[in-house]
Amino acid sequence: DTGVSQNPRHKITKRGQNVTFRCDPISEHNRLYWYRQTLGQGPEFLTYFQNEAQLEKSRLLSDRFSAERPKGSFSTLEIQRTEQGDSAMYLCAYPRPLLTGELFFGEGSRLTVL
Amino acid sequence: GENVEQHPSTLSVQEGDSAVIKCTYSDSASNYFPWYKQELGKRPQLIIDIRSNVGEKKDQRIAVTLNKTAKHFSLHITETQPEDSAVYFCAAPRQGAQKLVFGQGTRLTINP
């Protein structure tokens, strides 16, 4: 039990298709983060939410990417017109309660764009 | 913004020996420095962290040291075991933004 459920765990798609990933925290968290991790690299920040408000977006998040958190609980990350460079692990995370700074990551959704 | 550099990128040590991984950061206002361990196909998991009001923290075989003047912090693993083989990431918060910036990672291999 990681405290965060991510689906699908693995998605293989053809270039140009749209994909959507979902993150469901087990319990309520005010903040929710999306990170991307490519092979051999550290996680890179994409965006984060405070409740349902999207407060910051990285320059990595091009116009083809959109994230939502409609009710301040689960979140979705959609990638339109996927490119091979989008192949990566997409990680959802939340801050641990009472521990300022620590991020607790979900198991991630691995995207492979052919 | 915060920049985090991590060295070495790969490290191979004999079982039982010690391993040291170093990170430097650029933002002198950073006050929290976590280390994450990531096994193959798994999520990054926090193994130890340190705040800027202390210079060293230890948890069994792992320890982290912080030099605020030089703006670097290190992970020390003693009496290494095969299960320590993984990729390790350091991170530092980007001030003014609610996020962690990660280093490039160190692939640690423990040779039996």
**With b meaning 16 or more CB within 10 Å and e meaning fewer, what string describes A64-87?**
ebebebeeeebbebebeebeeebb
What value does the mean pLDDT take over residues B24-31?
90
Beta-carbon contacts of residue B69 (< 8 Å; ≥ 6 apart): none
Q: How many CA atoms lie within 13 A of A25 on its CB side?
A: 24
Q: Closest residue of B to A43, CA-based? A: B102
Radius of gyration of chain A (CA): 13
Please tell me if residue B45 touches chain A, with a CB cutoff of 8 Å. Answer: yes
What value does the mean pLDDT take over residues B43-66?
93
Q: How far is residue B68's CA from residue B111's CA, in Å, rounded to a whole number? A: 33
The reported pLDDT for the residue numbered A100 is: 62
What value does the mean pLDDT take over residues B35-57?
92
Please judge whether A91 and B102 are an interchain contact, meaning their C-beta atoms are less than 8 angstroms apart. no
pLDDT band at B94 (very low <50, low <70, confident <90, very high): confident
The reported pLDDT for the residue numbered A7 is: 97
Q: How far is residue B23's CA from residue B108's CA, in Å, rounded to a whole number? A: 15
Task: Name which of A100, A72, A25, A36 is nearest B98 in CA terms.
Answer: A100
What value does the mean pLDDT take over residues A60-87?
94
Q: Which residues in chain A have their CB less than 8 angstroms from residue B44's CB?
A: 43, 91, 105
What percentage of chain A reaches a pLDDT higher than 70?
94
CB pairs under 8 A between A and B: 50
Q: Which residues in chain B have their CB less than 8 angstroms from residue A34's CB?
A: none
Beta-carbon contacts of residue A40 (< 8 Å; ≥ 6 apart): B105
pLDDT band at A29 (very low <50, low <70, confident <90, very high): confident
Q: How far is residue B44's CA from residue B42's CA, in Å, rounded to a whole number? A: 7
Mean pLDDT of chain A: 91
Q: How many residues does chain A have?
A: 114
If you average pLDDT over each of A25-29, B9-13, B26-30, which comes out highest?
B9-13
The reported pLDDT for the residue numbered A99 is: 58
Phi first, then psi: what are they for B95, rounded to 5°? -65, 145
The reported pLDDT for the residue numbered A68 is: 96
Please judge whether A45 and B45 are an interchain contact, meaning their C-beta atoms are less than 8 angstroms apart. no
The reported pLDDT for the residue numbered B28 is: 85
The reported pLDDT for the residue numbered A48 is: 92
pLDDT in tens, A6-19: 999 999 999 999 99
CB atoms within 10 A of CB B12: 12
